[in-house]
Chain A
Amino acid sequence: QITLKESGPTLVKPTQTLTLTCAFSGFSLDTNGVGVAWIRQPPGKALEFLALIYWDDDKRYSPSLESRLTISKDTSKNQVVVRMTNMDPVDTATYYCAHSRIAASGTNFNFWGQGTLVTVSS
């Protein structure tokens, strides 16, 4: 049974760096074809991909946010961490981590955490 859970601050100030942790179980992130992604959703708005880390430590980032994002994994702890610098009120959103199935021609997200709401405000 695959589960994921996001943790981190619920409130950050503008210009601060957000660090979120995804703790997962039920799979290993060194299995071929597996990844963990971070996806966010501002209140009332659409899903937005942020970052994806592959089993082989390859990474993909949203082109518009790449300069602010870093994703990393700790396979021994079954955790994935994402850092987003220079937070702004427009970054207020629910942040999800998700298990990814990765193939040569695409990926999908078949298990999701419940999400964590991060508010950016002074």
Chain B
Amino acid sequence: DIQMTQSPSSLSASVGDTVTITCRASRSIGDWLAWYQQKPGKPPKLLIYKTSILESGVPSRFSGAYSGTQFTLTISGLQPDDFATYYCQQWTAFGQGTKLEIK
């Protein structure tokens, strides 16, 4: 059973900053990893799938990459709308989430 370990659990940043969130798989899972953004009281929104493909309508400041079993979500030039909780997911496993807060 795959486990996804996501870090950090929380992160403070300012508008305009670049931040990176990491997700590590318990074993090699290829490159089919997805990232979601969730705001309070709302369902998650798919941002990226297959590690680096942006879902339609997602701004290009979001990007994804991987190396071995470590996956990263990078947000370049944070916008006020980006402050939310982010989750990684592969098959039936979700990460524990990263809450991105305004500094």
Q: Which residues of A contact B (CB under 8 A)?
A: 39, 46-49, 52, 60, 62-63, 96, 98, 101, 103, 105-110, 112-115
Contact = CB atoms under 8 A, between A and B. Distances in A.
A107 B50 CA distance: 9
Nearest to B40: A44
Q: How large is the interface on B (under 10, 10 to 19, 20 to 34, 35 or more residues)?
A: 20 to 34
B68 to A, nearest CB: 16
- Which 5 A-B pairs give the minimum distances between C-beta atoms? A106-B32, A112-B43, A108-B34, A49-B92, A108-B49
Contacts of B36: 47, 109
Given A46-B87, A112-B43, A114-B43, A106 B29 contact: yes
A60 B43 CA distance: 21
Contacts of B90: 106
B32 A103 contact: yes
Task: Tell me whether chain B's interface is mostly helix, strand or loop, or mixed.
Answer: loop
A107 B91 contact: yes
Nearest to B53: A108
A53 B62 CA distance: 30
A110 B55 contact: yes
Contact of B30 (A52, A98, A106, A110): A106
Contacts of A47: 36, 38, 44, 87, 89, 94, 97
Contacts of B50: 106, 108
B30 A46 contact: no
A101 B94 CA distance: 16
B1 interface: yes
Given A112-B43, A113-B43, A115-B43, A48 B30 contact: no
B75 interface: no
B9 to A, nearest CB: 10
Given A46-B95, A98-B43, A105-B32, 13 more contacts: A46-B87, A47-B44, A49-B89, A49-B93, A60-B92, A63-B1, A106-B32, A107-B91, A108-B32, A108-B49, A109-B36, A110-B46, A112-B45
27 contacts: A46-B87, A46-B95, A47-B44, A47-B89, A48-B94, A49-B89, A49-B93, A60-B92, A63-B1, A96-B43, A101-B49, A105-B31, A106-B30, A106-B33, A106-B34, A106-B90, A106-B91, A107-B32, A108-B49, A108-B50, A109-B46, A110-B46, A110-B49, A110-B55, A112-B43, A112-B44, A115-B43
